[in-house]
Amino acid sequence: MTDREVFLDYLAKKSGRPRHQLKDHPLVPVNDLPETTLSGHTQDELLEIARKSSEAVHVDFRTCTKAELPTALNEFIDSRKDDSDHVMLPTSDLFADFGLEEWRDGLNPPATFWKPGASREENIKTADESGTAIAFADFLLAESGTITVATTPGQGRAFHFLPVHYLSIIRKSKILPRTRQAMDYYDPALVSGELKTSNINFITGPSNTGDIEMVIVVGVHGPLDMTYLVVEDM
């Protein structure tokens, strides 16, 4: 018997109830707020809601078109140069989708990458030493100003938390009302095997603390600042 089964048997015994499975006792929601909150909004309306929510959590919120994306990224990098050892990028096919292959290959000095074949220690060291990271988000949740991104071999978890500055590229079409809609995508994708990941990151602005002291301090560890760049025609 596994430790998990021993633990669950112990809980059942102490609570005086038999063991049961959730599938035999499905959850019955008390309301439909998860599905209906912020529903019915257009993408333009969700964009403005996301802008306000993001700025409220100290995010630098920007927009551009696909054609303007290379210039927007260069401006971001230039604004962080005094505090950047190097720019770190993911290993991802999405550079082609966003028309950024030429931009990526032409960076000077060259960017470093989170490498699928590298050791965990090597990738973490690269991320820890990077001044700026530029990555791709899966979704932006309008209600909370949260980006979601699944960990992949080319974009590991530490990629998002160790660099000093962080920019997330987001399709406007991928702005969702709230967490419920993101999970409506992730859950079946995980079950079907379409998405293979060790974890899904929900990131709301730059690092901060305040849950104990009740006084928020932004930029406690990393990233010290966060930029969302929404591509309006994608």
Per-residue pLDDT tens digits of the chain, which is 234 residues long: 789 889 999 999 999 988 877 777 777 888 888 888 888 899 999 999 999 999 998 999 999 999 999 999 999 999 887 655 689 999 999 999 999 999 999 998 899 999 998 999 999 998 888 889 999 999 999 999 999 999 999 999 989 988 889 999 999 999 999 999 999 999 999 999 999 999 999 998 887 776 666 777 776 667 889 999 999 999
For residue 70, report the phi and psi dihedrals to the nearest 5 degrees. -60, -40
Q: What is the pLDDT of residue 85?
A: 64
Q: What is the pLDDT of residue 184?
A: 93
Strands (E), the chain: 59-64, 87-90, 112-114, 132-136, 139-141, 146-150, 165-171, 175-176, 200-203, 208-209, 217-218, 225-231
| 3-class secondary structure, 39 | coil
Distance CA(84)–CA(157), nearest Å, equals 20
Tell me the CB-side half-sphere exposure of residue 47, using CA atoms within 13 A.
Answer: 16
Q: What is the pLDDT of residue 72?
A: 97
Distance CA(45)–CA(156), nearest Å, equals 32
Burial (0-12, 13-18, 19+ Cβ within 10 Å), 211: exposed
Q: In this structure, are strands 200-203 and 146-150 parallel, antiparallel, or unpaired?
A: antiparallel
Q: Output the pTM of the full model.
A: 0.85
Spell out a b/e string for 20-30, using b for 16 or more CB atoms within 10 Å of the CB, else e: eeeeeeeeeee
Q: In this structure, are strands 225-231 and 165-171 parallel, antiparallel, or unpaired?
A: parallel
